Structure 1
């Protein structure tokens, strides 16, 4: 007897072996708008390079098995590779993988599955699940490749057919905080898991480039499904940390009107202090304790100064590094982190503001409005 899902609940029944056509799905938009769970049956090494936001990796073959099958295919041909694959994934190994797929379907009975091109691997998984207990799990027609192509084409189409507004402003002016108050906004830095500056790395690693692009496409499609006719984004360079905005999409952003968020220096220092110091220390400390990052907050910040040494120059790098160290030692001694505001002020005034002035000069013809957060929200209405 096996455990099977009957559309409402899981029940016990005999295994099925009926050779019936199993469903193929190519309504890719609904996968995005319905937050459809997905089973990625590719090997872990393929999944790590990039998958889809709602996908979990439950592979037919692990990396070693996939490599052996691939080598056999090159040396002996298709039939020998298929035979080896069935030998490697048989008996207890096969049953454990079927159990993993069934367990996921128990929690997500509306899931779809896919492999690279929607062919042999996902069809085998689909057939094994059906033969095991009669669950006809749809697989993506064309697999990962077809869905990925749809996402890239659709995201570019949506960007080209929407009004775009770009929120600019000096470092620390609270652009992300403003975006959170705008229904039409898409948070590029949130999708890239990076604050966009040299000091903007989170303790948690950034997604792969493919994962970032797929997440951006999901965000754009869901934005469209919500009925928004305008996209509001933060002014970004092409790169957000180690990730980059796809060139054709970035070119559209570069043509969009710019709204400048203006905020006094003292408020910008406070926002930077809250984000990079108070939140940053808590995040890095927690990640370090969990073993998710090899360095704590202080070591990471000192490393950030070294990363921009060429732009800062040796003298300023030493001075800023010394200010950071003094504030850190004071914090360790007294528990008061307020001393970090000294080097934040220096970094904003001497590094970020001159760089901003240079960059905004090149965009001055695109500026359509300036104001504080409240004024911008009113303008957008």
Structure 2
């Protein structure tokens, strides 16, 4: 249900409309000023997708919205209006108080509903009665979302994109974090972009990922960088996907191949898959974090059994189980490096070499981390 459900009497709603409460469509400033937003949609709508920095302080609960929607369909607008007043009216003060409390700590807040219609107008009017003037987004969620998607496509199409590629464990993400002109797609998607790339915390909703990406691209453009640096990704990052027009624009860039020795790659992968992962598990699972980590990592190996083949799969599983047993016995984790080395050599490397051989993207440069940074800086300096 995407219409703005009515609350109050018809006369009250018309009176609110005549007030000409402040509207704004300064959408770019929301992004660049990191402006907080009050989303007055119902929680079920908010969970499907919301903007960075938005807080859900709904005008109606999910159940209130559901009941009013049913009445609207069955008996029309006037009856829905009457039910809305009956259900929500008694909660007016507590909802105004919640909005006011947030505004007191975030005085630059704006608010929105789905289309910038009745719900956000009512919220504005109630706040005005409490002595608080607050703009609402013109066109609401729908208009701001449309702006973000258009800007993502435009900026990605106009950007001079440099795509950092390289075998697993070369430290592509570490390199991205050292560059001011980079956008970290994996961080936006909360995923490491591999079979073992899951974080304990879930990935955002698809819509949230797209909005985060749009915010990042708008801010990147505003910083006036001459190049957009991203990590080489497939269309999907975990269960999320980069919008096709944006992804196609990214593919118009040039590849930079990051290189590293096998020992460097083993160390980097060990830090990511074992050391840093264990830190996450200790926070999320203070009781038996090692066991939770083992179960998830073991499931990751199981997911790639087909590609490994039975013999390599069996060897890696044995190495992994032995390393974990030693970890439990002594607390030592270095024994995980042999199975990581085998995973890199026998699983990731052949897959990467095949994919890069097929890639139509031109290779601009190859080098280690220091050489790549120097190359990218030299390109920036030439502008």
The answer (yes or no) to whether the contact 2:17–2:121 under 8 Å persists in 1 is no
Write out per-residue CA displacement over residues 285-335 of structure 1, whole angstroms, 9 at most, x where no aligned residue.
2112499x9x82111111112222332233333332222221111101000
- Taking the aligned partners of 1:321 and 1:90, their CA distance within structure 2 comes to 61
Other structure's SS at 1:224 match: helix
Cα displacement (A) at 1:256: 1.3
Which sections of structure 2, spanning at least 5 residues, go unmatched? 1-15, 379-383
- Taking the aligned partners of 1:73 and 1:138, their CA distance within structure 2 comes to 28
What pairs up with 1:14-163 in 2 under 5 angstroms?
Answer: 20-91=19-90, 93-131=91-129, 133-163=130-160
Give the TM-score taking structure 1 as reference length: 0.91
Pair 334,141 (structure 1): closer, same or farther in 2 beyond 3 Å: same
- Taking the aligned partners of 1:317 and 1:89, their CA distance within structure 2 comes to 59
Cα displacement (A) at 1:94: 2.2
Other structure's SS at 1:204 match: coil
**RMSD between aligned residues:** 1.8
Which residue of 328, 350, 355 maps to 1:354?
Answer: 350
Other structure's SS at 2:178 match: coil
Match of residue 202 from structure 1 = 199
Question: Does residue 1:284 correspond to 2:286, yes or no?
Answer: no
Pair 357,100 (structure 1): closer, same or farther in 2 beyond 3 Å: same
Question: Does residue 1:227 correspond to 2:227, yes or no?
Answer: no
- In the alignment of these two chains, the number of paired residues is 361
Other structure's SS at 2:195 match: coil
Cα displacement (A) at 1:365: 5.8
Cα displacement (A) at 1:87: 1.2
The answer (yes or no) to whether the contact 2:166–2:257 under 8 Å persists in 1 is yes
- Taking the aligned partners of 2:369 and 2:312, their CA distance within structure 1 comes to 32
Other structure's SS at 1:145 match: helix
Question: Does residue 1:378 correspond to 2:374, yes or no?
Answer: yes
Question: Does residue 1:302 correspond to 2:298, yes or no?
Answer: yes
Other structure's SS at 1:369 match: strand
- Taking the aligned partners of 1:25 and 1:335, their CA distance within structure 2 comes to 58
Which sections of structure 1, spanning at least 5 residues, go unmatched? 1-16
Match of residue 314 from structure 1 = 310
